[in-house]
A and B are shown apart, each in its own frame.
Chain A
Amino acid sequence: MGDRALSRRGFLTASAAAGLGMTALSGCGGDSDGGSSGTTTVEWWNISTAQPTKDVWAGLAKKFEAQNPKVKIKIVQLENDAYKSKMTALTASGELPDIFHTWGGGVLKQQVDAGLVEDLTDRTKPWADGLLAVAKEPYLLDDRVYGIPFDIGMVGFWYNKALFKQAGIATPPTTWSDFLDAVGRLKSAGTTPLALAGKETWTGMYYWAYLAMRTAGADALEKAGDDKDFTGAEFVQAGRHLKDLVDLQPFQKGFLGAAYSSPTGQAAAVGNGKAAMELMGQWAPLVQADAGKGLGDDLGFFPFPAVEGGKGAITEVFGGGGGHALRQGAPQAAVDFLKFFASETTDLELVRKTGVLPVVPGAESAITDPNIEAVQAQLKGSTGFQLYLDQAYAPALGQEVNDSVAGLIAGSKSPEQVTESITQTAKEEQ
């Protein structure tokens, strides 16, 4: 008995000590200075925990080490959400890894403003000039380069060609009124025009963001975020256009409770041919095939239509990608690695094996899927760019956009109320 009690107490003390110890330890790490033997260890933090990307990236690190015998690459991989919270903590502590994953936008700007990120403008000349311009956009702050992309993508409509044909729609719509018209035709043909995951509010936000870009122009959302003012007439107009769509009742039954990637969700509805379209990023075909059957050759892509009389053009894209940034004062080996990672040889391998879109123009030849080719063409010819709002803005503001647009779609908020509550949240953040 006595022994048992002792061991139980010992266990408690030990676990408490272990817990505290772990917390203390996790605060460390991130340092990686050159060893005494003349080799430099470069820490590379990324979120590629899924296969085959994980192995491909590890292989690339090995290849780089073979080419640069004095450099060791230490890979630290974290799950997406874990990475985000870990990075927030590291940013607060003022120590970032040598090379780290970034989406650019507001979060990168915070890190840059805190003086934690290396300015790469001069150190990546001239090789970075050859990269796809739109892919570099999220990491440009005041015309300085703070990150090098390895992936880029965009949101657009993914549609079922067979269902469009059935409804008598010959070509995908290019204007908003044509789009509403197509929705009407699909409805009268007995098809659900659009699938939407109402439970996951970011899916509805895509509509509002694109409409705002089309009515107010590509730079307007960025500017509104800086000015903390979204009450402009064009943003209200964007909400009205969305309301016009919602009033047609274009979404699947029970869309307000639907998830995105579950077997009864948005992607599955399109992938199983139950809905004709969804507004989604370049990953849509994969998820459609994963959650549903997938459409194969029936799947098509068209860009978000232009709005008549709006300041934006159909060639302006809403999207984002992935890139790498360096901590302030990172060793030259880290810059060399970025150059290696953005080379045509590496990018060809990445496009072929891991399904990312090319950031090096020469790697386009590796694309085989016609839809991905269409996305790539749209990206290449883009005349303006807006990063995903939840990455471009602070978390509270991004969530409020999602939330109030969801209210508009559910019918509880007017277009004016949407812009007002977004503005209010923007002003609360200092």
Chain B
Amino acid sequence: MTSTFLPDKRTGPEAGPPPPALRVGRGRSRRRIRNWLTAVGFQLPALVLFLVLVLLPILFALYAAFFRWGGFGMPSDYIGADNFTRLFDDPVFLGDLWRCLVLVGLSLAIQLPFALAMAVLLNQRIRGRAVYRTLFFAPYVLSEAITGILFAMIFAPDSGLADQVLGSVGLDGLGGTWFADPSTVMATLFLVMTWKYFGFHMMLYLAGLQSIPAELTEAALIDGASPWQRFRHVTLPLLAPTLRISVFLSVIGSIQLFDLVWVTTAGGPDHHSETMAVTMFQYGFKRYQVGYASAISVVMFGISLVFALAYQRFVLRRDLEGATTTMRGGQK
């Protein structure tokens, strides 16, 4: 709309007709500025939101982590790195780190292979596979709070569904206290996590599997490759990009795990299922030691960042390189 008015202004009486060459140059630079302004105009709301809601809080948490601060007014009691030294002396936080490692390990060793197996299975032509796919994906759609409440009821000692079922088939000995026992709480939590998230990873793998051309497996079949060989040497390498992304999402998810733990155990019994995010919540919103909680969030952010960068640099490099070389090839 504005563009139709601008030329009139330019050719207004006081400006006078400029030499032709100059007019072209001016017009181009004006257009460039106008394009630039349009771009800025479109990005401004998103930029402002990002700045105010993402970047500033991150920077502020970084700042607050060096103060003893109750969360109201501005932080004023500077204590240097005390919050961080306290953090790495705190057995609960060190436990959080350990539990994070355990969850990552279990996810990579059990949850993802299980999801892969299900994906391969449901990629076959079997009756009702659409139903199975939907069924397995459904838990992922459920909110984490609802999942938590559901499983807190299922794993209630004695009266819960899990113990009832085990009892009715004569396996009472296997049942027990689930979330209520420090020695079983992490295993139970992991069980629920697997139930909730394997469907998501399965979906990723299914999408990956479907992009593998059937000709390749057929060719391998004609060459006399066994089913295992076809999987190991054709499917798996071609699925690798998807696997790498899924591992990445799984690790980041484990680092930030909160909702499920909060609803089922609140980190208990006696901190045995506490994660970094739960500890942060406890200090930030229960104890109002916001400075200390900020230090926890900074460490969480640091771990995620270092992991993300390292993973992109060393693991995803091949995927990214593929993308850039194709582009370069296209330019030539």
CB <8 Å contact, A264 and B153: yes
Given A12-B45, A264-B160, answer yes or no on A253-B177 (Cβ-Cβ < 8 Å). yes
- Compute how far the CA of A430 lies from the CA of B76 in the bound complex, rounded to whole angstroms: 13
- Is A281 part of the binding interface, using a Cβ–Cβ cutoff of 8 Å? no
Give min CB distance, B280 to chain A, whole Å.
Answer: 14
Q: Is B5 an interface residue (CB 8 A)?
A: no
**A 81-113 binary contact with B (CB < 8 Å = 1; else 0):** 000000011011000000000000000000000
**Which residue of the partner chain, among A89, A407, A411, contacts B72 with CB atoms under 8 Å?**
A89
Chain A nearest Cβ from B268, distance in angstroms = 5
> Of B42, B268, B286, which contacts A198 at CB under 8 A?
B268
Chain B hits for A406, CB < 8 A:
268-270
Q: Give chain B's interface secondary structure class.
A: loop
CB distance B268 to A264 under 8 Å? no
B270: chain A residues at CB < 8 Å are 256, 406-407, 410-412
Chain A residues with CB under 8 A of B159: 264
With both chains docked as a complex, state the minimum distance between the C-beta of B57 and any C-beta of chain A, in angstroms.
Answer: 14
Given A89-B72, A406-B270, does the pair A254, B287 have CB atoms closer than 8 Å?
Answer: no
B82 nearest CB neighbor, chain A only: A428
Other-chain residue from B46, B156, B289 in contact with A254 (beta carbon distance below 8 A): B156
Task: Decide yes or no whether B113 CB sits under 8 A from chain A.
Answer: no
Q: Is the CB of B178 within 8 A of A199?
A: no
A2 vs chain B, min Cβ distance (A): 10
The verdict on A13 contacting chain B, using a C-beta distance below 8 Å, is: yes
Is B147 an interface residue when CB atoms closer than 8 A count as contact? no
Asked if B277 lies at the interface with its beta carbon under 8 angstroms from chain A, I say: no
Interface residues on B, range: 35 or more
Number of contact residues on A: which range applies? Answer: 20 to 34
> Which residues of the partner chain A approach B46 to less than 8 Å between Cβ atoms?
12
- Within the complex, the shortest CB–CB distance from B116 to chain A, in Å, comes to 32
Interface residue? B294 (CB, 8 A)? no
Residue B114 is within 8 A (CB to CB) of chain A in the complex: no
Q: A254-B178, A256-B182, A410-B182 are in contact. Are A199 and B268 (CB under 8 A)?
A: yes
Please list the residues of chain B having a beta carbon within 8 angstroms of any beta carbon in chain A: 42, 45-46, 48-49, 52, 68, 71-73, 77, 152-153, 156-160, 176-182, 185, 265-266, 268-270, 282, 286-289
Nearest 8 pairs between A and B by C-beta?
A254-B157, A257-B180, A256-B269, A254-B180, A410-B270, A92-B72, A396-B287, A264-B156
Q: Could you name 10 residue pairs across A and B whose Cβ atoms are closer than 8 Å?
A: A89-B72, A199-B268, A253-B157, A254-B158, A257-B185, A395-B288, A396-B289, A400-B287, A406-B269, A430-B77
14 A-B pairs besides A89-B72, A200-B266 with CB distance below 8 A are A9-B42, A9-B45, A88-B71, A88-B72, A198-B269, A257-B157, A257-B177, A257-B178, A257-B185, A258-B180, A264-B159, A395-B288, A396-B288, A406-B270
